[in-house]
Structure 1
Amino acid sequence: MPNCSENYESEISDGKNIRSITCKFCNSVILTPTSASFTSFEFQLPLMRQSKTNEQNPESEAVSLFWSVGDMFTFQNVGFSNTVGNNKYLTCADCEAGPIGYHDIPSKISYVALTRVLHC
């Protein structure tokens, strides 16, 4: 496995990602270096692993650190879910792990949670 990190503090330079952002499960490249901007705010993101008995009301967690991407064509390997409210959830296009973030439909901005990806 390449030298990857979940430690985000050392991954930001001039507000951008220094290294590639990859999937935690299959190491597929999601974003290339300097293609995303760091932002911080709180959002309730569904857990990556859900109980099958709780499909109508999925569990979520508060996530507050994101890479923001203004153009969906910036992504290397990302899938978009069906619309849920004003959002679409982001997944790894290769292994379908997710959600790794979400796409805000009104603003057309996508957000990748730093805690759900690796930096390689």
Structure 2
Amino acid sequence: MTEEADFAGQIVDGKNKTNVRCQFCNSLMLKAQEGTFNEKEVEVPLMMQKQDKTADNLNSEPLKAFWLVKDMMSFENIGFSNTVDGRKFLVCADCERGPVGYHDLSTRHCYLALKRVVHKDS
């Protein structure tokens, strides 16, 4: 089964059906129809790390379903954190929780992980 099947209710014509919000503070990150569904497996650091972890020594998990955002100006509220292996990690600009995805420095595209956000209009 693909990740797309898991999120089928959130995808309409390959785009995000509803607004995308922070799962912690409900801040609006991305408006509806601004992200394109993209399925590829990428290791992303866990949102909760042990105290003794450094940027080079993070626990991560494979994520497969992302909203591709080609222009970072399409975001409503997004922040950037550490750079690791050519990627800057995306965090909520309001509560600074994350990473909720990553920004690929070579393509300048952003990938917002569907599993790390909530999909609702208000």
Shared fold per TM-score greater than 0.5: yes
2:111 aligns with: 111
Partners of 1:35 and 1:109 lie apart in 2 by 13
SS in 2 for 1:52: coil
| Residue pairs, 1:70-89, within 5 angstroms | 70-89=70-89
Q: Residue 10 of structure 1: SS of its match in structure 2? A: helix
Counterpart-to-counterpart distance in 1, 2:75 and 2:40: 21
TM-score, normalised relative to structure 2:
0.90
In the other structure, the counterpart of 1:43 is: 42
Distance in 2 (CA, whole Å) between partners of 1:82 and 1:45 is 12
Alpha-carbon distance in 2 for matches of 1:83, 1:54:
15
80-89 or 27-36, which deviates more = 80-89
**1:91-106, aligned counterparts within 5 Å?**
91-106=91-106
Q: Deviation per CA, 1:74-93, whole angstroms, max 9, x where unpaired?
A: 00000011422211000000
Q: CA deviation digits over 1:30-54, x for unaligned, max 9? A: 0000000001000000000000123
Root mean square deviation, CA, Å: 1.0
Deviation per CA, 1:55-91, whole angstroms, max 9, x where unpaired? 2511000000000000000000000114222110000
Task: Say if 2:34 is the partner of 1:28.
Answer: no
Structure 1: how far apart are the matches of 2:64 and 2:19? 20
Any gaps of 5 or more consecutive residues in structure 1?
1-6
Q: Normalising by structure 1, what TM-score?
A: 0.91
More displaced stretch, 90-99 vs 46-55: 46-55
How many residues get paired?
114
Deviates more, 1:54-63 or 1:18-27: 54-63
Structure 2: gaps of 5 or more residues: 1-5
